[in-house]
Structure formats: structure tokens, C-alpha cells
Amino acid sequence: MGFLDIENATKSYGSVEVLHKVDIDVEEGEFLVLVGPSGCGKSTLLNMIAGLEDITSGEIRIKGSVMNGVHPAKRNIAMVFQSYALYPNMTVAQNITFGLEMHGTPKAERERAMADVAKLLQIEQLLGRRPGQLSGGQRQRVAMGRALVRNPDVFLFDEPLSNLDAKLRVDMRTEIKKLHQKLGTTTVYVTHDQIEAMTLSTRIAVMNGGYVQQLGTPKEIYDTPANLFVATFMGSPSMNLIPVTVRADGNAIYADTKNDKGEGISLAFYNPRAELKAFDGQTVTLGIRPEALTDLEGADQRSDHVEQVANTVTVTEPAGSDTFVTTTIGGAECVARMRSDADVAPGRETVFAVNMEKAVAFDPKTEDRIQ
Amino acid sequence: MAQASQDTAIRTGRVARTLIYLVLLLFVLFYMLPLYVMLVNSVKPLAEITGGGMMALPEVWTIEPWLKAWSTAQIGVEPTGLRPYFWNSISMVVPAVAISTILGALNGYVLTKWRFRGDTILFGLMLFACFIPFQIVLIPMAAVLGFLGLAGSTAGLVLVHVVYGIGFTTLYFRNYYAVFPTELIRAAQIDGAGFFRIFWRILLPSSGPIAVVSIIWQFTNIWNDFLFGASFASGDGAPMTVALNNLVQSSTGVKEYNVHFAGAILAALPTLLVYIVAGRYFVRGLMAGSVKG
């Protein structure tokens, strides 16, 4: 049993079920990120944890006590909203202490808690202002201050960074991570941004269509996605998916496909799993991350198994730190992440290094990864 | 080419605008004419008016008609002037406006932030109240007031105006609160504030513009109402509008037009004042509900 248990939690609006038997155990001090496209049910789940939406069936427990039907104020949680939801008629100081006031905390104690939080978030000079007089980043800090001051069991974040500009978003992301490392409060964080999910979390739940598609550490999610949805949703640019034919030859298993001139290519799977043998002669989807498809010099030197494919470059996109190179393998358009000074030009042939250690295969019928 | 056509556009724009403003100015003059007549004639001796000089400025300025209208004119049995009826109106308008605005705000809060099954139907029915003509409810209302023992009292009039006003005030506040971020309510809930605390501490302090709209609207309607006042208030309890009517319609003696004009302005002054003080917020508040963001 974890610190925050979500057990078979289901949510229906009328006859429409929007969340299907979600099962997640969160340990104390964990940073769980719920990520998925809009409408996947992640915010609904968060609101159910907060008590802002009721649970149709199943159970949510915090520290072992069942929270179904418990008022949000009595769950000892704190929430940071996407719009920050600062009370416009109150000063920053009043905003931060409002919750304590409502819970009947004595004034002296309130002041002390507020001073601590203001110092932690460096918003001391803002305490007398109103939310309307603050910038986006400052509002964000105040919203976090309001959550922190309650010293809750669980922190809930609902896309807190999506209203900030790109640079501030990255800064605040680091800030949130630092804060979590310092305080160690159990956190559930909702976002649609897969980079936020990867960078912040200790574990990620990737959601789609009201189902948890995969629950795991960022590395597990990234390297061994459970299915095609997770593979394409996580990672930018997204994973290259190439249709290949499986060919077993003794102990080795090959993925056969064609380069853009129609010549056959054989890529040997690295340490192939026995399950893959069952697909002998059939078509599967080979998944290769852009950084596992690169130029020879840029290939991972520690990888035990790098294959080489000569192919024509169709487009190059220099992005400063990397150059993204588009090419066609097996009829599928692939993006390779090369070093920024890789010697490539559109229309010219170059040798791509494929790190087969990182390659994964999916069953095109079920869309699940072949374990 | 583009330059030339732009120049013409600006020039024709200027001509058109001058014309428009001229026409508007004419309209304003026309519109202000009655007020001019009222003002001018309320500070003239009666002889000047009956002499035929309606439009002329007074030859002898006097405030006698104003004083007479306020404190000594014959209304009803006693020569009391409009003064006691003015206070009748005040003691009817203030509670009626306050109660209907507060109830409208509460209704708007519940209809937008504490949604329940059938809330839109309920709101639709409340809106319906805005379209019921006064005349239809006169007899049933009289029966209800009689049943409650409020017939002929100021309290009865307050009740009538509150009931009639709730439809409008609810409409205003509902539309205003509909675009008020629900996340704020949720944040307050998590912070531990209950139904009324959220209303008093979060919602009401942010409702300035729409409260002004509601107050102006209610104040004007209730102050200016004649039908309910004439129907449900008796004799000494009559509001200003009814008293003014009695003053002007009295069939005995000479028609003192200057006193009538002064009395009419006195009756209109409070609403005028409310508009001057809060008019700015009125327009702002009316716009607030209609445009998102």
C-alpha cells in the first residue's frame, strides 16, 4: 500500500465512462506525472484526487484513509491551478494565508508560515501587491506559495506552466524540481507536455482515452514504450516507425526492409527476445528513436550493436545543438538526430548509424510492444 | 494608387464625420428641449407662464415654486408638499434594491457555480419574470398582500418590487458569474471556505461593476414605478410618483405649472444622481457579461 492509492478509480458522466479503472500507487515523496493529450482524463483524475469531482466507482486513499466523499478542504492536499486562481481582490499575503485562516490557524502562526514560504519562493517584496499587478512568473510563485503554506500531504499541479512563455517555463520547471527535492512532498502533476513529464517525474503515467497506457519511470517509458501510442507521444521528434519483415536465421533475428533505392537492408536485432521468433516472416513495426539513428561519428560509442545504412538525405533541419535529417527507410519517413556539424546535404547519400540496442518492435495488429 | 485611394478615404471620412456630428448635435438639442422647458419654467412666477412665454428665460428668477413643491403644496388632505412622499419612496427603494440585488447575486452564484439538475430550466423560468407585464399580476398580488397582511404598507411594496426585480438581478449576476473563473471557487474550496464564505470573500468583492448595474437598474425602475405604488400604497404611504400625480392632477384651484415642473424635477432627481455617480460603471458592467476574456 502506497501513500496515495488510486484503486480501480472510474469516472462516468451519465452513461459515458471517461476514466476506466485507473490503478496507481504513489509512494511517499514520489513525483508522479500524468501526461496525455487533451481529453485523456488526466485532469479529471487529478480533480478526483482533489475531491473536486466525485469518484463513480473505485477508491482513492491518502495515507491509508479512504477519500471518497471527503470534502477537498479535509484531504490535506493543496493544488496549483493552470490559471493560478489567485483571488483578485486580495493581496499576495492574503492569498497565501487565506487557506490557513479558513482552517482556523492563529494569526501569529499564519504570519510565520507565510514569512517562511515567501522567503523560500523569494516573493517577500510582492506580499503587499494584488495578483493583477504581478507578471505571469510571479503569479506562478504566489500560487505555489499558497499551496506550500498549508504543508499538505499531497501537492496537486494542474498544468501549472502552460500559461508561461517558453523561457520562463523552463526556469520554473527547474524551480519546481528543486522545490520537490528540498521538501520531498508527494506530488501529482498533470501536463500535456512530454518534456515536462520526462524532466520532473520520478514516475510517469501516460494516459489516453481514459486508460493508463503505461506507468513507469521516465527511462522505462522512453526506452521501452508499452505500445505505439506511448512510443509516438513521448519524445520529440517522435519515434521513427518502420515497417519491417522479421526473418529468423538460427539464433539471430533480422529486420528486413528496403532503402530509398529499393535495395534490401537487413538489420540484426540486438539480443532478440524469443517472442520475436513467432513473428518470423511477418511484418512488424520497428521503432527507432531519432538519436538512435544518426551519423557514424555521432553514434553511441558504448553501444554493442550499431548497424549502418547508406541512404539519401531528403531534408536537413539545423537546430543549433543538433541537425535533424529526414530520410526514407522502408517507405517510412524517418528523422535522424545528427551532430550539428555532421556533413550532410539534401539529395546526397550518407551513411546512417542505427543503434539496434535501442530499437524496439511493435505488433502492428495490437500496437503493443513485442516483449 | 493605394496612396491616392487612402487619401480620398480619409477625406470622405472627415466630411461624413462632420455631417454625422451635426445631425447628432441636432438630436441632442431636440432631446434636451423638454428638460430646458422644465428647468426654465420651474424658476418663473406663474404669471410669466400663463402670459404665454413657455420657451423664454424668466424675467424674474424665483425659487418659490421649488419650495412650494417640496414643503407646502396641497397633496391629498394636508398641504405637506412632496417631502413626506419623498421619504416614503426612499424607505421603499433602499430595502427593495438592496434585497433584490443580494438575492440576485446569490441566485447567480448558485446557478453558475453550484450547478444542479434542472438549473437552466429554473433560470429560464426566472428570466420569464422579466417579460410578465405589471398589469397581469395586479389582482393576484393584491390578494397575496392581503393574505400576508401587508396590504397598503411600505413593506408590501418592497416585497412586490423585490419579487419583480429578482428576474433581472439574477440575469445580470448569472451572466457575470458565468465568465468568473470556476478555478477560483475550487481553489477556495480546497482552502476550506464554505458556500457563504466563498460568496462574501471571493465573489462579492469582485462583483463591483455588475452590482452597480443591478443597483442602477433596480433603483430607476422602483423609484419611477407608478402602477404598483398607485395600486398597493394608500394615502400617506404613497411613493413620490403617486404624490406627483396627485399634485399635478388636483382639480381644485389654479394649475400652478411652475410648481408642477419643480415637483417633477424633484421626483426625477434621485435617479439622475444615481446615473451621474455610477453611470461610468454602468456601461462597463453591462459590457462585462457580454464579452469573454
Residues of A within 8 A of B188 (CB-CB) are 87, 98
SS3 (DSSP) at A53: coil
SS3 (DSSP) at A256: strand
CA-based nearest residue in chain A for residue B185? A85
DSSP calls for chain B: -HHHHHHHHHHHHHHHHHHHHHHHHHHHHHHHHHHHHHHHHHTS-HHHHHTT-SSSPPSS---HHHHIIIIIS--SSS---SHHHHHHHHHHHHHHHHHHHHHHHHHHHHHHHS--TTHHHHHHHHHHGGGS-HHHHHHHHHHHHHHHT-TBSHHHHHHHHHHHHHHHHHHHHHHHHHTS-HHHHHHHHHHT--HHHIIIIIIGGG-HHHHHHHHHHHHHHHHH--HHHHHHB-GGG--HHHHHHHHHH--SS---HHHHHHHHHHHHHHHHHHHHHHHHHHHHHHHHHHS--
Whether residue A102 lies within 8 A of chain B, CB to CB, comes out as: yes
Query: How many other C-beta atoms lie within 10 A of the C-beta of residue A133?
Result: 12
- Contact check, Cβ <8 Å, A89/B191: no
CA dist B82 and B75 (Å) reads 8
ipTM at complex level: 0.79
* The pLDDT of residue B169: 92
Q: Single out the residue of B263, B80, B285 nearest to residue B177, CA to CA.
A: B285
Nearest CB partner across the interface for A87, out of B184, B189, B192: B184
Beta strand pairing call for A252-258 and A264-268? antiparallel
Residues of B within 8 A of A88 (CB-CB) are 184, 206
Instruction: Mutate one of B186, B190, B198 to test the A interface: name it (highest A CB count within 10 A).
Output: B190
Whether residue A190 lies within 8 A of chain B, CB to CB, comes out as: no
Residues of A within 8 A of B181 (CB-CB) are 83, 85
Question: For residues B48-76, b (16+ Cβ closer than 10 Å) or e, as one string?
Answer: bbeeeeeeeebeeeeebbbebbbeebbbb
Nearest CB partner across the interface for A102, out of B181, B184, B192: B192
Residues of A within 8 A of B183 (CB-CB) are 81-83, 85
In this structure, are residues B167 and B124 in contact, taking their beta carbons and an 8 Å threshold? Answer: no
Residue appearing with cell numbers 521501452: A224
Instruction: Mutate one of A79, A86, A139, A157 to test the B interface: name it (highest B CB count within 10 A).
Output: A79
Query: How many other C-beta atoms lie within 10 A of the C-beta of residue A129?
Result: 15
H-only helix segments in A237-312: 274-277
Q: Single out the residue of A295, A288, A287, A292 nearest to residue A311, CA to CA.
A: A295
Q: What is the DSSP letter of B199?
A: I
* The pLDDT of residue B6: 66
pLDDT in tens, chain B (293 residues): 455 566 776 777 888 899 999 999 999 999 999 889 888 888 888 877 777 777 878 888 888 888 888 888 777 777 787 888 888 899 899 999 999 999 999 999 998 888 888 888 888 888 888 888 888 888 888 898 889 888 888 888 899 999 989 999 999 899 889 888 888 888 998 988 888 999 999 888 888 888 888 898 899 999 988 888 888 887 778 888 888 888 888 766 777 888 888 888 888 888 888 888 887 777 766 555 444 33
In this structure, are residues A257 and A329 in contact, taking their beta carbons and an 8 Å threshold? Answer: yes
Residues of B within 8 A of A83 (CB-CB) are 181, 183
Write B131-134 long-range contacts (CB < 8 A, 24+).
Answer: B134/B164, B134/B227, B134/B228
Whether residue B140 lies within 8 A of chain A, CB to CB, comes out as: no
* The pLDDT of residue A1: 62
Residues of B within 8 A of A49 (CB-CB) are none
Task: Provide the grid cell at A278.
Answer: 513467432
Please classify residue A247 by burial: count the beta carbons closer than 10 Å to its beta carbon, then call 0-12 exposed, 13-18 middle and 19+ buried.
middle
Residues of B within 8 A of A89 (CB-CB) are 202, 205-206
Residues of A within 8 A of B205 (CB-CB) are 89
Whether residue A52 lies within 8 A of chain B, CB to CB, comes out as: yes
* The pLDDT of residue B289: 45
In this structure, are residues B65 and B128 in contact, taking their beta carbons and an 8 Å threshold? Answer: no
SS3 (DSSP) at B203: helix
Residue B67: half-sphere exposure toward Cβ, Cα within 13 Å: 5
* The pLDDT of residue B262: 87
B179 to chain A, minimum CA–CA distance in Å?
13
Residue A324: half-sphere exposure toward Cβ, Cα within 13 Å: 12
Query: How many other C-beta atoms lie within 10 A of the C-beta of residue A289?
Result: 23
In DSSP terms, which residues pair with A339 in a beta bridge? A322
Residue appearing with cell numbers 499531497: A154
DSSP calls for A173-199: HHHHHHHHHHH--EEEEEES-HHHHHH
CA dist B221 and B157 (Å) reads 13
- Contact check, Cβ <8 Å, A87/B189: no
CA dist A209 and A296 (Å) reads 40
- Contact check, Cβ <8 Å, A81/B189: no
Instruction: Mutate one of A44, A62, A81 to test the B interface: name it (highest B CB count within 10 A).
Output: A81
CA-based nearest residue in chain A for residue B202? A87
Q: Single out the residue of B224, B226, B267 nearest to residue B73, CA to CA.
A: B267
Whether residue A237 lies within 8 A of chain B, CB to CB, comes out as: no
φ, ψ of residue B152 to 5 degrees: the values are: 75, 5
Q: In what order do the strands lie in the sheet with A283-288?
A: A264-268, A252-258, A240-249, A283-288, A360-362
CA dist B68 and A28 (Å) reads 83
Task: Provide the grid cell at B186.
Answer: 475550487
Residue type, A190: V
- Contact check, Cβ <8 Å, A99/B190: yes
Q: Single out the residue of A57, A90, A190 nearest to residue B204, CA to CA.
A: A90
Nearest CB partner across the interface for B183, out of A73, A81, A103: A81
pTM for the whole structure: 0.79
Residue appearing with cell numbers 433584490: B100
Our CA dihedral for B280, B181, A102, A109, rounded to 10 degrees, sits at -90
* The pLDDT of residue B24: 96
Residue appearing with cell numbers 521528434: A237
Q: Single out the residue of B154, B152, B132 nearest to residue B142, CA to CA.
A: B152
Residues of B within 8 A of A79 (CB-CB) are 186-187, 190
Residues of A within 8 A of B186 (CB-CB) are 50, 52, 72, 79, 81, 85
Interface size A-B, in CB pairs within 8 Å, comes to: 55
Q: In angstroms, how far is the first alpha carbon of chain B from the final one?
A: 40
Name the percent of chain A lying above pLDDT 70: 100
* The pLDDT of residue A370: 87
CA dist A223 and A226 (Å) reads 10
* The pLDDT of residue A264: 86
Q: Which residue ranges of chain A lie beneath pLDDT 50?
A: none
Nearest CB partner across the interface for B191, out of A82, A83, A98: A98
φ, ψ of residue B129 to 5 degrees: the values are: -60, -30
Whether residue A85 lies within 8 A of chain B, CB to CB, comes out as: yes
Residues of B within 8 A of A103 (CB-CB) are 192
Instruction: Mutate one of B117, B186, B191 to test the A interface: name it (highest A CB count within 10 A).
Output: B191
